[in-house]
Structures are given as structure tokens and as C-alpha cells.
Structure 1
Amino acid sequence: MTSGTKEDLDSAIKNYQDAYSDLKNKYSDVDSTHVAIIDQNVKRTESQVQSYMSRRLATKAALPKGSKSPDFVNYENHAGGNMSLSDFKGKYVYIDVWATWCGPCIREIPSLKKVEEQYHDKNIAFVSISVDNGRGYKNDPEAAHEGWKKMVVDKDLGGIQLYADNGFQSQFVQDYKINGIPRFILIDPDGNIVSSDAPRPSSPALVKLFDELGI
């Protein structure tokens, strides 16, 4: 999908269906039992993709570009004290919502470090917000909090490392309709949304977006 519209989603799924149909026609001599199993897997994948992308489109529609960003207030800063979104007024803010138990989040760290280094002297703040709240720590919030602090040190995480006040139930997380992580958000210097579902650090689209904005 390019522009990220409902029409893009429908077109992508139609292309997927057509490609699979062509493949079945090309290999029509394959045992019907195997075809039936593959059919089920294809339909399951199609349903999962459609559900996931529909949620993303709904999020973008509910939090459009240019609208005021939801706020967070007094999140614990690993470096000491607390920070709020308003503290970054005048800068772009690239937010990484993550958790220590999240494999895809951890895999983005090397790419995030590279982007942070590339833009370290630019008008942008890189803010990571942990939603750790017990998962992966036998539902022990205190252990989760300590696990977050330890990982920040062990992995030498850069940027500004914050800890959400109530995990996935934090108001900021709820307002951004985050039900899966990692999630990346870009906010402009006036506190308005540039993208409620921004490209990941590992995607070339992120640097392209930053450059288009003149960051």
C-alpha cells in the first residue's frame, strides 16, 4: 500500500487473491488435499492482514495529520525526574512505544540508534516510552519497572527513555489506540500529529519523511 487508503487495501488484497488464483491454475495437478490446506492458510492470512490494516486505517482516520496530539504528563525519565510532551514544544518528536518483552521492538533498536545518530544535532527529540507493566515478569509491576531500567543500561539505549504511568492502560496509549507494539509516532514542533503511525526506524521511508519535513 502506498497512500494508505481503504482503496489501497482493497486493491492489495485483490492482487493477492488474483496471484494465488493464477498459481493454482498453473499447478492444477497438485493433490486436492494439499490445495484445501493451502486454501485455508491463504484465507487465514488474508483475514489477518485485512484486520490489521483496517485497524491501522481506522487509527489514522481517528488521529489525522495536523490534529492536536494526545498528551502525556509526568512520565518517569530514566535519566532522572519526569517529562511531559509539552517539554518538547518547538521540536519534532519521534516517539517509540515499546516494551522489554517485545521482540520486534528490540529488533528496531539498532536502526533507531543509527537514525538518532544521523539526526542528533537536528530539531527533533527521540523519545522512547516503555509500556512494561508486568508481562514477561510474572505480572509483577515492580519487576517490570526494574527490567526496563536494566535494559536501558544494558543495551545503552539513546534518546529520552520514559516509562508510561500505567502500561497499555496509560491515557496516552489509549488515546493513540495502541494495541500492538512497536508503534512509532511523529509530532511537529507545535504539538500536532504528523503521523500517528509513522515508519519504523528500519524503514527507508522514515529518513525520507524527515528530509521532506526539513528536519
Structure 2
Amino acid sequence: LQQRAFEEKIIQIEKGFIDLLENIQGIDTNLVAGEQKSRNQLIQRIKQEYNRKILMGETLAEGMDSPKFSNYENYNGKTTSLDDLQGQYVYIDIWATWCKPCKAEIPFLKKLEEKYLEKKITFVSISVDSGKDHNIWKEMVAEKELPGIQLFADNDWNSEFIKNYLVNSIPRFILIDPGGKIISADAPRPSQGEIITILLNQLEI
């Protein structure tokens, strides 16, 4: 939706809710107050998400230079930067050990990596776990035998790379081309199967 149309829709929703309450007789005032608060919170979240999508379209569009991460700790105890991966397509998984939807993607991600093992694409997983969970991250990488390049973000959710990509929920997948340009700032998940496969095949990796 264009911004004006979006704002008109929000006004319609708010007016419809008010009209509904005004036409119900004898409704409990505490219930009304609670529902109004919930409605206001929901509308606020919808507005925030809409504005985030607009900003993504302006700053993270296909073909734009990708934000970079530098010297993230990798599982081997050394560091990896996005610039180290120049010349390869890069498929990034932003996740955390406590995130159930993230862990649900692991089997699909493994299969995807196996499928493109000999191709010009690098799979990178960036954990946004807090520093206190560093050991949990290392243990899970080992326990689940996670392939690809496993990285630990330098400041969890406050890492510049995470903020620059406007990440507000995980898992989040990002696809970058060999020249460091954005292909998709919100790429399909591995569990979407054919959708991500079609996208990668179109790139003739």
C-alpha cells in the first residue's frame, strides 16, 4: 500500500472499532478499556512494521551496497568479515540458540548447503546470542554439527550489521552477490524449499 492508502486503512480500522463499541449496550467498561489498549498497541506495531518495510525499500533495496560486518568471531576462534567472502554469493542466516523457529530451519539449511556444496555460494550463520550465552552457542554448533561459517555477532542485537539490516525478528535470511550488493535483504527461508531453490538457480550459481 502507498502511505496515504495505508493511513486511510488505519483510520477506517480505528473508526470501525469505536463504532462497534458505541453500538454495544451495557458492555463492561474494564473490558472496553483493555480492548482499546490492545487495539492501540496492535495498530502501533502495524505502523512500525509498515515504516520498517518502507525504510528497507529505501536503504536495503536490491542492487544497493550491503552493510558489512567486520571481525566477527567464528567457531574456530578466529575472525571473519564480509569482505573476506568477496567473489562468492553469500546466504546469511541470523539466528540465536534460544529461538525455536531458528532451530526449526536447521535441517532445511543443512540440506540446502549440501545441494549447493560445489557452487559459488557461502553459507554464513550469525548468532545474536548475548555474550553470556557464548558457550551455549559453541556447544550447539558442535552438538548439531552446524555447517557453513558460524559467527558470533559482536554486540548481539545491537551489532551494527544487525541494526543496519533493520532486523527486528529472527530467523532472518539475507542474500548478497559476489560484488557485495544486496540481492534480498529478507530472503526466503530454507524451509520454503522450492522458492529459495528457484531464486538461487536463477542466479546460475
TM-score in terms of structure 2 length: 0.77
Distance in 2 separating the partners of 1:195 and 1:114: 21
Matched with 2:94 is: 97
Matched with 1:196 is: 185
Candidates 84, 87, 108, aligned match of 1:87: 84
Distance apart, 1:6 and its partner CA: 4.8
Judged with a 3 Å threshold, the aligned counterparts in structure 2 of structure 1 residues 47 and 208 are, in CA distance, closer, same or farther, namely farther
Counting matched residue pairs gives 195
Residue aligned with 2:190, SS: coil
Matched with 1:165 is: 154
Candidates 118, 123, 142, aligned match of 2:120: 123
Tell me if the contact between 2:52 and 2:166 (Cα under 8 Å) persists in the aligned partners.
no
CA RMSD of aligned residues (A): 3.3
Unaligned runs of 5+ in 1: 18-35, 135-139
Distance in 1 separating the partners of 2:155 and 2:114: 30
Judged with a 3 Å threshold, the aligned counterparts in structure 2 of structure 1 residues 208 and 167 are, in CA distance, closer, same or farther, namely same
Judged with a 3 Å threshold, the aligned counterparts in structure 2 of structure 1 residues 45 and 114 are, in CA distance, closer, same or farther, namely farther
Q: Which runs of at least 4 in structure 1 moved beyond 4 Å after TM superposition?
A: 40-51
Which sits farther off after the overlay, 51-60 or 99-108? 51-60
Distance apart, 1:43 and its partner CA: 9.9
Matched letter for residue 159 of structure 1: G
Judged with a 3 Å threshold, the aligned counterparts in structure 2 of structure 1 residues 53 and 157 are, in CA distance, closer, same or farther, namely farther
Distance in 1 separating the partners of 2:180 and 2:159: 19
- Residues 33-182 of structure 1 mapped to structure 2, 5 A cutoff: 51-52=48-49, 54-133=51-130, 140=132, 144-182=133-171
Distance in 2 separating the partners of 1:177 and 1:190: 21
Tell me if the contact between 1:69 and 1:191 (Cα under 8 Å) persists in the aligned partners.
yes
Unaligned runs of 5+ in 2: 14-31
Matched with 1:30 is: none
Distance in 2 separating the partners of 1:203 and 1:42: 32
Matched letter for residue 90 of structure 2: V
Tell me if the contact between 2:92 and 2:175 (Cα under 8 Å) persists in the aligned partners.
yes
Judged with a 3 Å threshold, the aligned counterparts in structure 2 of structure 1 residues 45 and 110 are, in CA distance, closer, same or farther, namely farther
Judged with a 3 Å threshold, the aligned counterparts in structure 2 of structure 1 residues 46 and 159 are, in CA distance, closer, same or farther, namely same
Distance apart, 1:181 and its partner CA: 1.0
Distance in 2 separating the partners of 1:82 and 1:61: 31
Judged with a 3 Å threshold, the aligned counterparts in structure 2 of structure 1 residues 49 and 155 are, in CA distance, closer, same or farther, namely farther
Distance in 2 separating the partners of 1:63 and 1:108: 24
TM-score in terms of structure 1 length: 0.74
